Structure 1
Amino acid sequence: MRKKVILITGVSGEIGQALVNSLVKQTDLPIIALDIAPIPEALHSLVIPMQGDIMDKSLLSRLVSEYEVDTIYHLAALLSTRSEFTPEAAHKVNVEGTLGLLNLAAEQSDWRDEPVKFIFPSSIAAYGLPDLDTKTTYTRVREWEWNNPRTMYGCNKLYCEQLGIYYSKYYRQLAADLPVMLDFRCLRFPGLISAFTAPSGGTSDYGPEMLHHAAQDKPYACFVREDVRIPFMVMPDAVKSILMLTNAPKSALKHSVYNVTSFSLSAAEFRDWVLKYFPNAQITFQPDVKRQAIVDSWPADLDDSAARRNWAWQPDYDAVRSFDEYLVPNIRQRYQAK
């Protein structure tokens, strides 16, 4: 008899580590933690660590031969900046890797006669507004608006959202006997900020990079203009939203893809928050025209009213609480300990 488990891919990243620490408090199921990078030592007592590539079909075959996968949190991805330098590699990891896991979830759903939940974090990068005038006019964008991404990462995420919807609603639709469909649920995140892991090179990381540099007394040259504005969310709210969506009754969900957000700041406002706590911080603005253009194509804010209506989403952290209670105390402690 195979043991029922939860699978998390990309567990060594920012979201993955935070998710494990919250998920173990809510479930009795074992958690398989899969990542191509070494699994952090701090997680080893909480999970079944498995270092490997999501593209390795033999690894996935061995996994399903031993375990019954109940829920998949698919976090593994090449992020936006790196994807621009290696678009073919990004497509392979972000799309083909996701497709392989969707196939696994579809087969497992049919095999056990019960849907596998497939939780997929998407991104503000799935949007693409054509110019700053449009960005000013459409300040809070809904899920179906301006889905015209200008980055490989955004294209990958948007396509994988559609793949997930296909596998959850239309997979093998011409077959004589319809299979048990997987249960695909997706969140579109704003820029995410963690106090416990360093920024990993995403295009929205100029905000957290300000904080982490200031806490180390290092100067920071911000690669966007002062007036650029996008939404943000701290990691505890990101994990909260993932778990809320996972636990929401299927009957309450009117959509497969949901925006979630917390607060919106311009780069100058973000700098001002940093200076409030680190008055000697050396933050300058040296816009990179190409990266700036990417951020300019993202909405100034996300409309998350559907999530609030359907599954009672509400962030715990606004900008004030994010800086006062989560970001500044923990980032200070992180670097004082070194």
Structure 2
Amino acid sequence: MPVIRMLSRVVSQMQQSPACGCWLLAVPARFLGTLPRQVQSDASFHSVSFSEIDHPRILITGGLGQLGVGLANFLRKRFGKQNVILSDIRKPPNHIFHSGPFIYSDILDYKHLREVVVNNRITWLFHYSALLSAVGETNVSLARAVNITGLHNVLDVAAEHSLRLFVPSSIGAFGPTSPRNPTPDLCIQRPRTIYGVSKVHAELMGEYYCYRYGLDFRCLRYPGIISADTQPGGGTTDYAVQMFHDAAKNGKFECNLKPTTRLPMMYIDDCLRATLEVMEAPADSLSMRTYNISAMSFTPEELAQEVLKHVPEFQMTYNVDSVRQAIADSWPMNLDDSTARKDWGWKHDFDLPELVTTMMNFHGSDTRVAQAN
């Protein structure tokens, strides 16, 4: 097909149904060049809509992290076990390996990532591979490679193969000069961690690919995520997850943040539901491509008071980690997620009391307290 005719058809399709809500029709055809590493083809640059197929074929990168396994289980209930592929560079435990499709996939290996997408007919990609905040500060070069170079590979593959791409962002994308209480969707972002810098980079690159190539990019800024069945993963907000583990196990916890450090948090069930809801939202309902979402905000002291209702002898001490505290002090105290609630109907289910009750029931606090007595 002649180049001019192909570009005209692409622009026409974007005018009729813009995949990214970024007003691509304003971009002259001569600027719609090939993707950085795109194989030349006759494919148009629009994502396959959910209505065009029976179900999405899903790949989750970084699947053995805090959120990947839970997301896979959640999506498998919705779309079927065989349609959701978990991937990582680590060997999975037996129960995860046997729970559904699992493959080795290294996001730093661009050629292999393309092969995975093509061979498995992937249509949706959830990109969870990342080094978290505190861990990233101890190995900046690795964090830069995984969080930035890996993202570039994912963006190119997703755009080339017309995938719908979800990349999580974080409260870490904000910095000490951002408004903290509340923090709006659009404001100054000057993070002071490699993790935060990489998340701002991901937001901007994803939105650029949406504008430039029509990539159906979607992103949520997660607060601290609390999950009952996973271990802390090296994030600054993970003190809350560790508190539940230690309270149920021995009734004691040493906190590495100050007692008055307020941060936004969310239970994992709300997080997973929000992720699916934004992925299924019609493109024309999205006024932006990166949204804040939130559920609650609390301090270590407030969380401890709630835990005491379930474990009356619970004791918490403080040994403040200066690195983690500096990170927490640069992050939002509350997220303004009113745009997500307006655009695609986001609504959380878990507040602090429900969160603590759910977590302590999971960890069997009643059994431990009874044995102690």
What SS does the corresponding residue of 2:236 show, helix, strand or coil?
coil
What residue in structure 2 maps to residue 27 of structure 1?
A: 79
Structure 1 residues 76-99: Cα deviation after superposition (integer angstroms, max 9, x where no partner): 111111100111110100111111
Contact 1:222 1:287 in 2 (8 A): yes
Separation in 1, partners of 2:62, 2:145: 15
Structure 1 residues 172-209: Cα deviation after superposition (integer angstroms, max 9, x where no partner): xxxxxxxxx22000000111100111111211111111
Could you tell me how far 1:159 is from its partner in structure 2? Answer: 0.4
Could you tell me how far 1:333 is from its partner in structure 2? Answer: 7.5
Moved over 3 A (4+): 43-46, 333-336
Residue among 239, 242, 261 paired with 2:294:
261
Q: Where do 1:103-252 residues align within 5 Å? A: 103-109=156-162, 116-130=163-177, 138-171=180-213, 181-217=214-250, 219-252=252-285
Structure 1 residues 13-43: Cα deviation after superposition (integer angstroms, max 9, x where no partner): 1211111111012114622211112234333
Could you tell me how far 1:218 is from its partner in structure 2? Answer: 5.8
Could you tell me how far 1:282 is from its partner in structure 2? Answer: 2.6
Could you tell me how far 1:46 is from its partner in structure 2? Answer: 4.2
Q: Where do 1:247-326 residues align within 5 Å? A: 247-324=280-357, 326=358
1:68 aligns with 2:121: yes
Question: What amino acid is the match of 1:191?
Answer: G
Contact 1:188 1:260 in 2 (8 A): yes
Separation in 2, partners of 1:126, 1:264: 17
Q: Where do 1:3-42 residues align within 5 Å? A: 5-28=57-80, 30-42=83-95
1:90 aligns with 2:153: no
Separation in 2, partners of 1:279, 1:271: 10
Question: What amino acid is the match of 2:273?
Answer: K
Separation in 1, partners of 2:71, 2:138: 28
Question: What amino acid is the match of 1:79?
Answer: L
What residue in structure 1 maps to residue 103 of structure 2?
A: 50
Separation in 1, partners of 2:122, 2:265: 32
Identity level (%) = 36
Contact 2:107 2:113 in 1 (8 A): yes
Could you tell me how far 1:62 is from its partner in structure 2? Answer: 2.4
Separation in 2, partners of 1:294, 1:80: 8
Larger deviation: 225-234 or 274-283? 274-283
Contact 1:129 1:146 in 2 (8 A): no
Query: Unpaired segments of 5 or more residues in structure 1?
Result: 110-115, 172-180
Question: What amino acid is the match of 1:8?
Answer: I
Separation in 1, partners of 2:349, 2:338: 16
RMSD across aligned positions (CA): 2.0
What SS does the corresponding residue of 1:204 show, helix, strand or coil?
helix
Separation in 1, partners of 2:74, 2:231: 19
Could you tell me how far 1:125 is from its partner in structure 2? Answer: 0.3
Question: What amino acid is the match of 1:150?
Answer: R
Separation in 2, partners of 1:104, 1:188: 23
Report the number of matched residues. 313
Q: What TM-score do the two structures reach when normalised by structure 1?
A: 0.88
What residue in structure 1 maps to residue 13 of structure 2?
A: none
1:332 aligns with 2:364: yes
Structure 1 residues 85-143: Cα deviation after superposition (integer angstroms, max 9, x where no partner): 1111101001111110110011101xxxxxx210111110001124xxx86xx411112
* Larger of the two Rg values belongs to structure: 2
Structure 1 residues 219-274: Cα deviation after superposition (integer angstroms, max 9, x where no partner): 32211111110110010001010011011111100000011111110111011112
Query: Unpaired segments of 5 or more residues in structure 2?
Result: 1-54, 369-373
Contact 2:225 2:268 in 1 (8 A): yes
Separation in 1, partners of 2:184, 2:155: 26
Q: Which has the higher strand share?
A: 1
What SS does the corresponding residue of 1:187 show, helix, strand or coil?
strand
Structure 1 residues 265-317: Cα deviation after superposition (integer angstroms, max 9, x where no partner): 01110111122212222311122223211101111100000000000000011
